[in-house]
Chains A and B, each alone.
Chain A
């Protein structure tokens, strides 16, 4: 596979270990994909859509041609304890005529048809690529609908070309701010919002249970298992916990400056980070009582896991992992988790990592580990081979690539079917890693000699 090439322009997005001696010292990241790259990365709309999608009782109308609605119909894997409305797909399905004469009227009519048969509390209207180009004033249509129907109709400015996926996260955060801004109220003591968990496989519920046990009230979950009513209470929390920093730091900062709610970054992936996060929350907003309860919870859960991990680790130690995930903070948690299993992370990349994330990553991996931003399949293949990775942690597009290379795989994205957060998540994650890496199917990858041509001649 020596033919695999890395584009000159891509080289600044890739580094080995920490602090290279090339003078510039830092990895290029958070910029647009290169034209012509088979990028694994999505667009502004995608970023906005994945963040807002889990709001369970919202109507999400995708304003544009049908594709953007089709591709995002019920694929997020977010669970709901209430409404399942969000799992339907609503679109204006713009046609050629609309493109010529403008789609504003159709959008207004679509909202009217929706309001006629349902009683929505909030409608999000996503403006996709061509909406601005054909001159639709989505803001005006939304404003008019709000006045006419007395409900919230919030535009989400998400033309795909207007930046990268991270920019879409910001557009979603702006929409959330628009929704919650009018609802300020007195702060509740010992209460938090959880930002940036999307309740994939019920992960938000795991975190909520920890909070309940240590005596901290969860006011609002953003956006996993969120509803209109719970969201608008968000301004009354006294602290924001930011789990997915990539998508939600922007919102946390806005809430801090406008609503006076401080935030802490947390991660509930892996024992180390889960325990640290629980304790941190108790210390930040709780009393000594809350801290004691947190410590008791941590002691109990860590003890429970000890035996489990001891039985599994021998099968995992010495293996090599490659990580390619969305955000930098998740990558950091994964590296720590692998370290705890005795697995060395040899390749690590993210789609939307920030310079500070890559700095931390650099300190967690060996000097010869490959760190890369916005990787494409060729690069992933090259470095997984070069570093002899045994397992790749990634998303849907990376799965078949890993398998083709004979590398085990764990989905840490929308397609995860088991919760990977919290202490329960450690068990699931370890089991998934183990079952993929130690599947008997791998041994049949090698074609036995008697089946090959050489074998036949003998």
Chain B
């Protein structure tokens, strides 16, 4: 029924069908929600922010706040300066955040609004702050917007006093609160003092109390962002998400950094922990060695079901590469690896990973859409699909088992509370993947093949 994708592949240059990305501002908004008592502000038409809030609310099943400049016809002709000024004044008056994080939109970028100077001219209430970043929707993707907002915060707030504070900045990448909690747990076990930035845990997974808190307990504080300037080191997780802000911080405050892959799978997590051990001078504790051992144990227990199975993975570049690393470790074949976010590095990195495991015939594509992926699958099918909820239609049409991971997951609950990073996250993914494969087998096999022991 939903299966309208033709098998024959025709060249497409102008038409995007079923996108695998969205625009910068929503990434900037999500980043800003990871700062304590921050109001994200969208400098554009009122529809943008309504869509972004809906998008995030559908993924997290949580309120997602943000204000808007509410552009009118006039603003689009004469510039949005007065809208921003009125908007910021109203936000401080009524919602009383500590800081406003302004991001632009395609509209305010195209008409050439100079948001930096609008903020400079703004009569800032005492003790309040505002930062901004440029997030033209026609460049990059939501991932670009996410790191641009991080860079915006750093440019405005990070300060080097000349005395290091002994902390390590962790840039977790575009991940769920569950992942951030896991990264914090790992840093805690490694006895490594850290500043997590941004930190949506405690914001987008806040507990039910019967009270609505516009600014829940979580989020990186302004003081912490400032203190990033005195950090002894930064661990930038996800090369396509965290490199740029780490670079900005290094240039501004001389904070050295390492770019690591999102710590997904065994090797990715090993690498992070070794780096943490180096930075904290602490040995990796037995507890974490045990977690690693448990993960390997389960992967071995179930490896017959994984080995040689073909997988299609789509989503944001760093998440997709992390998932690719894990499925390779499990003995699966990452047949198609796709991101909508443009950029050459993704394909190079994916091909390196294919080569490392001696994989042949695997395809990687950046700036791709899900129509591409579906056509590839039509021509040579896979055993498993991993990605956002928008893979649902392909999975149904092609009768492929489907594991949801990445952004956005709109049709399942509680997913954002659990990690996919670290050994624990890998263990969870191994369970999800194995269950998806076995559930599919159970549902589709002949009666005589139904077996209570698998």
Q: Are B26 and A110 in contact, with the CB atoms below 8 A?
A: no
Q: Are A36 and B50 in contact, with the CB atoms below 8 A?
A: no
User: How many angstroms from the CA of A114 to the CA of B106 in the assembled complex?
Assistant: 25
Known A46-B50, A71-B54, A400-B61; judge A90-B16 contact (CB<8 A).
yes
Q: Are B138 and A36 in contact, with the CB atoms below 8 A?
A: no
Q: Are B72 and A161 in contact, with the CB atoms below 8 A?
A: yes
B220 interface residue per 8 A CB criterion: no
Within 8 A of B (CB), among A64-78: 64-74
User: How many angstroms from the CA of A376 to the CA of B25 in the assembled complex?
Assistant: 21
B23 interface residue per 8 A CB criterion: yes
Q: Are A36 and B208 in contact, with the CB atoms below 8 A?
A: no
Total cross-chain contacts (CB, 8 A): 251
User: How many angstroms from the CA of A34 to the CA of B137 in the assembled complex?
Assistant: 23
Within 8 A of A (CB), among B73-93: 73, 75-76, 83-84, 86-91, 93
Q: Are A404 and B208 in contact, with the CB atoms below 8 A?
A: yes
Q: Are B63 and A396 in contact, with the CB atoms below 8 A?
A: no
> Who on chain B is nearest to A71 by CB?
B51
User: How many angstroms from the CA of A45 to the CA of B137 in the assembled complex?
Assistant: 16
Cβ contacts under 8 Å, A33 to chain B: 46, 68, 70
User: How many angstroms from the CA of A223 to the CA of B444 in the assembled complex?
Assistant: 38
Q: Are B90 and A34 in contact, with the CB atoms below 8 A?
A: yes
Q: Please give the distance in Å from B350's CB to the nearest CB on chain A.
A: 22
Cβ contacts under 8 Å, A9 to chain B: 90
Q: Are A400 and B72 in contact, with the CB atoms below 8 A?
A: no
> Who on chain A is nearest to B47 by CB?
A43
Q: Are B107 and A130 in contact, with the CB atoms below 8 A?
A: yes
Q: Please give the distance in Å from A420's CB to the nearest CB on chain B.
A: 20
The residue from A64, A84, A92, A160 contacting B15, defined by CB atoms under 8 A apart:
A92
Instruction: Pick the interface stretch among A95-103, A242-250, A285-293, A330-338.
Output: A95-103
Cβ contacts under 8 Å, B136 to chain A: 65, 96, 99
Known A90-B15, A406-B210; judge A36-B90 contact (CB<8 A).
yes
Cβ proximity bits B386-405 to A, threshold 8 Å, 1 near / 0 not: 00001001000000000000
B243 interface residue per 8 A CB criterion: no
Cβ contacts under 8 Å, B66 to chain A: 38
Cβ contacts under 8 Å, B23 to chain A: 65-68, 70
Cβ contacts under 8 Å, B138 to chain A: 65, 94-96, 98-99, 130
Cβ contacts under 8 Å, B446 to chain A: none
Q: Are B68 and A37 in contact, with the CB atoms below 8 A?
A: yes
Cβ proximity bits A14-58 to B, threshold 8 Å, 1 near / 0 not: 000000000000000000111111111111111000000000000
Query: Contact size class for A?
Result: 35 or more
A89 interface residue per 8 A CB criterion: yes
User: How many angstroms from the CA of A90 to the CA of B57 in the assembled complex?
Assistant: 24
Q: Are A161 and B45 in contact, with the CB atoms below 8 A?
A: yes
Cβ proximity bits B346-383 to A, threshold 8 Å, 1 near / 0 not: 00000000000000000000000001000000000000
Cβ proximity bits B212-225 to A, threshold 8 Å, 1 near / 0 not: 11100000000000
Cβ contacts under 8 Å, B26 to chain A: 67
With most chain A CB atoms within 10 A of its CB, the pick from B13, B62, B107 is: B107
The residue from B63, B67, B105 contacting A36, defined by CB atoms under 8 A apart:
B67
Q: Are B47 and A160 in contact, with the CB atoms below 8 A?
A: yes
B94 interface residue per 8 A CB criterion: yes
Within 8 A of B (CB), among A380-412: 381, 396-397, 399-401, 403-406
B155 interface residue per 8 A CB criterion: no
B10 interface residue per 8 A CB criterion: yes
A212 interface residue per 8 A CB criterion: no
Q: Are B54 and A396 in contact, with the CB atoms below 8 A?
A: yes
Q: Are B110 and A42 in contact, with the CB atoms below 8 A?
A: no
Cβ proximity bits A190-202 to B, threshold 8 Å, 1 near / 0 not: 0000000000000
Q: Are B63 and A404 in contact, with the CB atoms below 8 A?
A: yes
B414 interface residue per 8 A CB criterion: no
A5 interface residue per 8 A CB criterion: yes
Q: Are B18 and A42 in contact, with the CB atoms below 8 A?
A: no
Q: Are A66 and B141 in contact, with the CB atoms below 8 A?
A: yes
A88 interface residue per 8 A CB criterion: yes
Q: Please give the distance in Å from A55's CB to the nearest CB on chain B.
A: 15
A91 interface residue per 8 A CB criterion: yes
Cβ contacts under 8 Å, B91 to chain A: 36
Known A67-B25, A130-B110, A161-B107; judge A90-B70 contact (CB<8 A).
no
Known A90-B17, A114-B15, A160-B44; judge A46-B51 contact (CB<8 A).
yes
Q: Please give the distance in Å from B428's CB to the nearest CB on chain A.
A: 24
Cβ contacts under 8 Å, B14 to chain A: 92, 106-110, 112-113
B65 interface residue per 8 A CB criterion: yes
User: How many angstroms from the CA of A37 to the CA of B95 in the assembled complex?
Assistant: 9
Cβ contacts under 8 Å, A5 to chain B: 93-94
Known A73-B19, A85-B4; judge A37-B90 contact (CB<8 A).
yes
Cβ contacts under 8 Å, A134 to chain B: 110
User: How many angstroms from the CA of A65 to the CA of B136 in the assembled complex?
Assistant: 9
Cβ contacts under 8 Å, B89 to chain A: 36
Cβ contacts under 8 Å, A110 to chain B: 14-15
With most chain B CB atoms within 10 A of its CB, the pick from A87, A129, A133, A445 is: A129
Q: Can you name 12 A-B pairs with beta carbons within 8 Å?
A: A36-B90, A36-B91, A65-B136, A67-B22, A72-B51, A89-B18, A110-B14, A113-B12, A129-B107, A134-B110, A161-B71, A381-B212
On A, residues with C-beta under 8 Å from B are 1, 3, 5-7, 9, 32-46, 61, 64-74, 84-85, 87-96, 98-99, 106-110, 112-114, 116-117, 128-130, 133-134, 159-165, 377-378, 381, 396-397, 399-401, 403-406, 445-446
On B, residues with C-beta under 8 Å from A are 1-2, 4, 6, 8, 10, 12-19, 21-26, 41, 44-55, 57-58, 61-63, 65-73, 75-76, 83-84, 86-91, 93-96, 105-107, 110-111, 136-139, 141, 208-214, 340, 371, 390, 393
Q: Which 10 pairs show the lowest CB-CB distances between chains A and B?
A: A43-B47, A67-B23, A36-B90, A160-B45, A36-B87, A109-B14, A70-B22, A65-B137, A35-B87, A71-B51
